[in-house]
């Protein structure tokens, strides 16, 4: 009796605990529609944008009901959920991690589904379509996208005696303007600066592109010891030489958060920043109503073989491996990538669409005053996505750290690049070794998956054409 008294409560506790590990069973609405879960990292205004598109989709459907969830740090959560066998049906992620997900067999290849539904590479701008493909397979459908450009404070340009309509044409000219604009207080600390490569610092590993070459070449070579990076490092080091280590550290410690009125670009602490097309949304939300800014391509160095460079980023809709409602998931991403839905989302987010053609009134309806500049940059061939690396996160962390240290003068450029190159080449080699071990198995699996999905019919969402 006494044993039973103890055992029963223990069993109840154990069952309650383990029930948390079980798969969600509720996958139908009351009216019998299949529930498709969608994970995005969008919140605030951006969440409202995707919600409106999802509402349209749900209203058009009698078979599928989409439940959108806002998750922070979706990359880690998708990884863990997929590993645990309970992934969302669809997720929207940045393009940087496609290689890592694909090499770990965490996604469903979409080749066959795309073919059946008439989705073709020609419908998209090359840069963005390429970002969705890896190792000869299609892993995602490109949605909204953006490119970066130079954003400059017109008032500060005017005060320094410069023409506010004449942004710099080369990186060297940008630095001359930087020196002209930089102001010091009586105690020698910096009050404002023209440009700082660490603000906002989201693309620190990409600076060498402005000197003619990226950080990765071919399939197996990191280029941190190449000539482009040596020039980049000399340029970065010129900051502490010109402005002083302590002064730069002190200046940066006073920068407010990005999405706040204390953003250093809005407060005039930094006059020129590298930012994306979304910046206008934040300027309208947080900057002074009288804040005047201009946009131009971010100029490359005179020594580079290009007039300017831009980083292209794209939001990709993926279907994680192991989802139950594959067909319904594809119907959703097919709808999201259709022109009307995608343009609605792009207008809400202040971004662009990755499709080659846009509706005639898209530009008129778009809130961005400089949209044309961004569209021109995107179509110029000088806008590229960040490298597809299976070790992207460590690439980003290590290179960002090196860029910081060189800019502040905490290490010599030579030493920093040497260490960075050694570490990053080792990381890449390890991923290549790993890939060689699994390549055959995975390719076979993916080819089989592609052919098995051909059994499913084309989606019933009947979205509008992509063209």
Partner 1 sequence: MTPIERSRVAKGLLFISPWILGFLAFALYPLLVTAYLSFTDYSVLAPPVFIGTENYRELFTDLDFRKAIFNTAFFAALSVPLTAVMACLLAVLLNFQARGRSFFRTAFFLPSLVPMVCLGVIWRWLLNGEVGLINQFLLPFAEGINLLLGTQLDTPAWLEDPGFTKIGLAITSVWGLGHAMVIFLAGLQEAPVELYEAAELDGAGFWAKLKSVTLPMLSPYILFNLIMGLIASFQVFAVPFVMMDGANEPPGGPGGSMLFAATYIYLSAFADWKMGYACAMALIFFLLVVALTITLMKLSERRVHYAAKS
Task: Give the residues lining the site for partner 1 (CB under 8 A).
Answer: 3, 6, 10, 76, 79-80, 82-83, 100-101, 104-106, 200-201, 246, 249-250, 252-255, 257-258, 391, 393-394, 396-398, 400-401, 404-405, 408, 410-411, 419, 423, 426-427, 430, 434, 437-438
Tell me how far, at minimum, the Cβ of 31 lies from partner 1, in Å.
Answer: 35
Tell me how far, at minimum, the Cβ of 405 lies from partner 1, in Å.
Answer: 5
Q: In this complex, which beta carbon is closest to partner 1, that of residue 282 or of residue 408?
A: 408
Tell me how far, at minimum, the Cβ of 445 lies from partner 1, in Å.
Answer: 11
Q: In this complex, which beta carbon is closest to partner 1, that of residue 9 or of residue 367?
A: 9
Integer Cα distance of 456 and 451 in angstroms: 10
Contact 155, 292 (CB under 8 A): yes
Tell me how far, at minimum, the Cβ of 384 lies from partner 1, in Å.
Answer: 23
Which is it for strands 190-195 and 270-276: parallel, antiparallel or unpaired? parallel
Tell me how far, at minimum, the Cβ of 106 lies from partner 1, in Å.
Answer: 5
Residue in 29, 61, 54, 83 with CA at minimum distance from that of residue 317: 54
Tell me how far, at minimum, the Cβ of 410 lies from partner 1, in Å.
Answer: 5
Integer Cα distance of 309 and 382 in angstroms: 5
Q: In this complex, which beta carbon is closest to partner 1, that of residue 384 or of residue 434?
A: 434
Tell me how far, at minimum, the Cβ of 363 lies from partner 1, in Å.
Answer: 33
Tell me how far, at minimum, the Cβ of 82 lies from partner 1, in Å.
Answer: 6
Contact 234, 393 (CB under 8 A): no
Q: Which residue has the tokens 């300017």?
A: 308
Integer Cα distance of 334 and 340 in angstroms: 12
Angstrom CA distances, 218 to 112, 115, 149, 223, stand at: 27, 28, 27, 10
Residue in 228, 202, 200 with CA at minimum distance from that of residue 215: 228
Q: In this complex, which beta carbon is closest to partner 1, that of residue 63 or of residue 437?
A: 437
Q: Which residue has the tokens 């160095």?
A: 301
Q: In this complex, which beta carbon is closest to partner 1, that of residue 258 or of residue 291?
A: 258
Tell me how far, at minimum, the Cβ of 105 lies from partner 1, in Å.
Answer: 6
Q: Across the strands, what pairs with 74?
A: none
Q: In this complex, which beta carbon is closest to partner 1, that of residue 244 or of residue 299?
A: 244
- 378, 380, 385, 387 alpha-carbon torsion, rounded to 10°: 180
Q: In this complex, which beta carbon is closest to partner 1, that of residue 18 or of residue 360?
A: 18
Q: In this complex, which beta carbon is closest to partner 1, that of residue 103 or of residue 327?
A: 103
Q: In this complex, which beta carbon is closest to partner 1, that of residue 3 or of residue 15?
A: 3
Integer Cα distance of 140 and 111 in angstroms: 9
């Amino acid at each position: 009796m006494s044993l039973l008294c103890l055992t029963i409560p223990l069993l109840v506790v154990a069952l309650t605990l383990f029930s948390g590990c079980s798969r969600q069973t509720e996958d139908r609405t009351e009216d019998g529609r299949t529930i498709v879960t969608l994970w995005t990292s969008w919140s605030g205004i951006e969440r409202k944008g995707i919600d409106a598109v999802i509402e349209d989709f749900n209203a058009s459907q009698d078979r599928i009901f989409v439940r959108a969830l806002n998750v922070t740090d979706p990359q880690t959560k998708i990884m863990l959920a997929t590993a645990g066998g309970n992934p969302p049906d669809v997720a929207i992620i940045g393009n940087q991690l496609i290689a890592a997900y694909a090499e770990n067999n965490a996604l469903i290849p979409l080749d066959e589904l795309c073919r059946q539904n008439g989705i073709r590479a020609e419908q998209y701008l090359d840069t963005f379509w390429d970002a969705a493909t890896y190792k000869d397979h299609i892993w995602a459908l490109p949605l909204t996208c953006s490119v970066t450009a130079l954003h400059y404070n017109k008032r500060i340009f005017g005060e320094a005696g410069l023409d506010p309509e004449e942004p710099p044409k080369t990186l060297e000219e940008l630095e001359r303007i930087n020196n002209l604009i930089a102001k010091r207080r009586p105690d020698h600390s910096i009050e404002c600066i023209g440009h700082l490569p660490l603000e906002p610092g989201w693309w620190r590993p990409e600076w060498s592109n402005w000197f003619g070459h990226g950080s990765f070449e071919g399939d197996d070579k990191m280029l941190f010891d190449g000539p482009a990076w040596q020039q980049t490092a000399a340029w970065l080091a010129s900051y502490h030489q010109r402005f002083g280590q302590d002064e730069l550290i002190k200046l940066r410690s006073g920068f407010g958060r990005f999405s706040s009125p204390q953003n250093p670009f809005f407060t005039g602490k930094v006059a020129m920043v590298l930012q994306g097309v979304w910046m206008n949304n934040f300027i309208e939300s947080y900057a002074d109503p009288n804040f005047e800014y201009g946009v131009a391509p971010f100029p490359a160095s005179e020594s580079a073989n290009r007039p300017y460079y831009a980083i292209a980023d794209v939001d990709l809709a993926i279907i994680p491996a192991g989802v139950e409602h594959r067909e319904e998931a594809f119907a959703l991403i097919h709808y999201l990538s259709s022109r009307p839905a995608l343009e609605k989302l792009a207008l809400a987010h202040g971004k662009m669409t990755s499709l080659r053609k846009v509706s005639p009134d898209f530009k008129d309806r778009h809130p961005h005053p400089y949209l044309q500049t961004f569209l021109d940059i995107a179509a110029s061939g000088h806008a590229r996505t960040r490298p597809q690396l299976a070790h992207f996160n460590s690439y980003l962390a290590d290179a960002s750290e090196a860029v910081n240290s060189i800019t502040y003068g905490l290490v010599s450029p030579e030493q920093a690049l040497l260490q960075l190159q050694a570490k990053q080449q080792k990381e890449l080699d390890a991923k290549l070794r790993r890939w060689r071990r699994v390549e055959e198995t995975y390719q076979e699996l993916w080819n089989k998956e592609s052919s098995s999905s051909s059994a499913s019919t084309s989606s019933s969402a009947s979205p509008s054409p992509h063209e």
